[in-house]
Structure 1
Amino acid sequence: MKLEADVCIVGAGPGGALLGYLLAKNNLSTIVIERHEAINKEFRGEHLNHEGEAVLRALNLYDKVEQEGLLMMKSVEYWQDGEVVKRVRPGKGEKHVGIHVPQRNLLNVFIREAKRFPHYHLLMGTRLTEVLTDETDSVTGVRAKSGEQEVVIKSSVVIGADGRFSTLRKLAQLPFSIFPHGYDLLWAKIPSPKGWEPTIRQALVGDKQLAVFTQAGGFVQIGWNIPEDSFPVLKKQAFMPFIQQVSDAFPELAGSVQRYIRSWNDFILLKVHSSACETWVKDGLVIMGDAAHTMSPTGAFGINAALVDAEVLSDVLVDALRLGDTSAGQLKKFELLRRGAVEKLQEIQRVKEETYRKNFAVPTLY
């Protein structure tokens, strides 16, 4: 199968899906390919901050996402010995300290809105296999597989929005560096107890962070920092003393924890790292979101940065295609607009991780 479009986007996560909608809205023919068969993958980073919310409101999408389903957090709490020692509430004029949005709700809105345009096409279950170039090494499209069928897409620009292990980044041979953070993360999701407030709760277990995020739909998600590469050894130890520490930190969760987290198999392991690429562009190609700048989970900056990327990149691409110039020099405008802000966020993450213990130093409630 051979297809043509102004833009081909690899990856239909929040950044890629939003970019697809914005380009289609600007009358650019757009093809999005996604390796998963359906929008039903379990995600972890699902909290919007004020930056992500501002993007949705500016694009008149917030109300649609709200109708699909979201949950505003009332506070961030720091717990010690089973009690709150510090509470952060919304600032003056603010309604929340974060918003949980199931990513499938976010994606449903972006994709549904994009499909209103006849020049938008989404190809699910389609896996990137090759980046196509011309005699000058400019990117001219991609080759992919949909089941056993080969798909060739010719496009003026190819966008890599395919995440922290980006296939497009690898195939395009864009150099990047990985920075470990000294910890990995165990995730588990359990039903929230009756009367549970929509909060983000933090605790220290030993010297490691334990976080509980309230989710829309009546769930809480537990994120437990463990030393980097320690899970294989940890799994050989007794499970019940380990999980009892969650009940000790957050007594209200004891019943749900004991019922729903019964073995190491009930956790999902996330290998934590951040990354930086030497450049985000080549002639005819741009990478964005985690493909360009992987974030650690701290502060849930990743999804919000991807949404801002999409908003900024859409304007750059509209101008580039209007001018008929998709060279690296023209596309570099996106990187110049975003790199500084992204690097600042990554530094904030590192500082937050290094100073996390200080949140528990002085009991403060307000």
Structure 2
Amino acid sequence: MKSVNYKTDVCIVGAGPGGALLAYLLAKQNVSVILIERHQKIAKAFRGEHLNEEGEAILKKHGLFSKVEELGMLAMESLEYWENGKLLKKIQPDPKVGHLGIHVPQAHLLQVLIEEAKQYPNFTLLTNTKVVDLLVNEQNNIYGVKALNEGKELSIECGLTVGADGRYSTVRKKAGIEVSKRKHGYDLLWARIPAPPGWEPSIKMALIDGFQLSLFTQAKGYVQIGWNIEEGSFPELRKQPFTPFIDKLIMAFPILEQSVKENIQSWNDFVLLDVHSNFSENWGGNGVAFVGDAVHTMTPTGAFGLNSAMKDADCLAQIITPEEINKLDLINCETERKREIERLQAIQIEKEQSFATQFVIYS
């Protein structure tokens, strides 16, 4: 097997929004960076794609928002709660904010981040590249990764390895870092259908058999369906007739009937997400650091995941220079972000537990 050796200041594993943003910011700061992605194509289906105010602010801070906007995004104009096919209540945005979240196709966001990073000669993107191990010296410090790319073995030496490789992070596992995992009592079925004529940019919610059903309007004329089901129930659910299940969706939102019947015709038209959150007390040290789901997986509730990963990247980028990584600042950044993530994960739990109360109307 052929072997190729690289040397760089920072190696980032995972080219999702957090990893790609960090790579761009570091390249811009004259830090040499290699960004690794195990897929051939970097945009993946059914990932968090809703920006909140904080994510919007980060993109604007770095002059990226307008570039993504040119490719296409869609601001949500309302949050609606529906019951038995009728609108129960409607929430509109604070005029100062102007939206209740912005749908940004992940492909658009990543395209901008990667294209901007490629302007700098100190940036390298390696796709179809899978990390298989870490490089560790006699002092037990991590100084890079071993990876495979189309039959070639890669050795990438660096001053800092960043795990931005998601909830099942290889870097985290190879570094021996533990996470505490929490199940939330539900799994999630995703599907995407064309929006019916006249559909307004909105997030719509319903309560079906005690579980949350959400509709997220997407750019380019689509609606993403997020349907919570009982944890672990999908194998048995698949054995049951499909029509009664999908009829509940149509009863909740009659306007979707034609699009649903044309585009969701079997259980195979749903994608299952195993919902859990996790949190690690250790976000780095000994030559490694982490951002996003690698150390704090979020549930889909509140759409915090994408925005939190970008905030991690923004914070980390501020303490890395070509000369050094300030270890004290690294600890301060980690402490600040941990507090924020713990707060957001508590909010997610509260939102999930109190969702049914949104459908109680007090006279």
- TM-score, structure 1 as length reference: 0.96
Q: Which residue of 1 aligns with 2:226?
A: 223
Q: Spell out, residue by residue over 1:280-322, the C-alpha distance to the aligned partner (whole angstroms, 9 max, x if none).
A: 112110011000100001011000000111100101223xx53
| SS of structure 2 residue aligned to 1:317 | coil
TM-align CA RMSD: 1.3
Match of 1:127 in 2: 130
Contact 2:205 2:214 in 1 (8 A): yes
Which SS does the other structure have where 2:121 is aligned?
coil
How far the C-alpha of 1:173 sits from its partner, in A, is: 0.6
Tell me by how many angstroms 1:179 deviates.
0.3
Kept after mapping to 2: 8 A contact 1:85/1:363 = no
Q: Matched residue of 2:187: which SS?
A: strand
Partner amino acid for 1:155?
C
User: In structure 2, what residue type is equivalent to 1:10?
Assistant: V
Distance 1:37 1:170 in 2: 23
Distance 1:338 1:21 in 2: 20
1:103-126 alpha-carbon deviations (Å, 9 max, x no partner): 010000000000000000000000
In the TM superposition, what is the alpha-carbon distance from 1:79 to its structure 2 partner? 0.3
| Identical-residue share of aligned pairs (%) | 50
- 1:185-234 Cα offsets, whole Å, 9 max, x none, are 00000111011111100000121100000001111010000000000011
Q: Tell me the residue number matched to 2:315.
A: 312
Residue of structure 2 in register with 1:349 after alignment: 348
The number of aligned residues is 360
**Greater mean deviation of Cα atoms: 250-259 or 87-96:** 87-96
Which residue number in structure 1 is paired with residue 339 of structure 2? 340
Write the deviation string for residues 48-94 of structure 1: whole angstroms up to 9, x where unpaired: 11111011111111000100110111101000111111111011322
Decide which of 140, 143, 154 is 1:140's aligned counterpart: 143
Query: Taking structure 2 as the reference length, what is the TM-score of the superposition?
Result: 0.97
Distance 2:211 2:133 in 1: 42
Query: 1:315 & 1:325 partners in 2: Cα distance?
Result: 10
Q: 1-side partners of 2:182 and 2:345: how far apart?
A: 11
- Give the conservation status (yes or no) of the 8 Å contact 1:86–1:363: no
Check whether the contact 1:157–1:326 (CA below 8 A) recurs between aligned residues. Answer: no
The alignment partner of 2:258 has SS state of helix
Q: Which residue of structure 2 lines up, in the alignment, with residue 165 of structure 1?
A: 168
Q: 1:232 aligns with which of 224, 232, 235?
A: 235
Unaligned runs of 5+ in 1: none
Structure 1 runs of 4+ aligned residues shifted over 4 Å read none
In the alignment, structure 1 residue 9 sits paired with structure 2 residue 12 = yes
Distance in 1 separating the partners of 2:272 and 2:333:
33
Deviation at 1:38, TM superposition (A): 1.2
Q: Structure 2 vs 1, CA of residues 94 and 325 (structure 1 numbering), >3 Å: closer, same or farther?
A: closer
CA contact (8 A) 2:105 2:219 kept: yes
Q: Give the corresponding residue for 1:362.
A: 361
The AA in structure 1 aligned to 2:100 is V
2: CA distance between counterparts of 1:96 and 1:227? 31
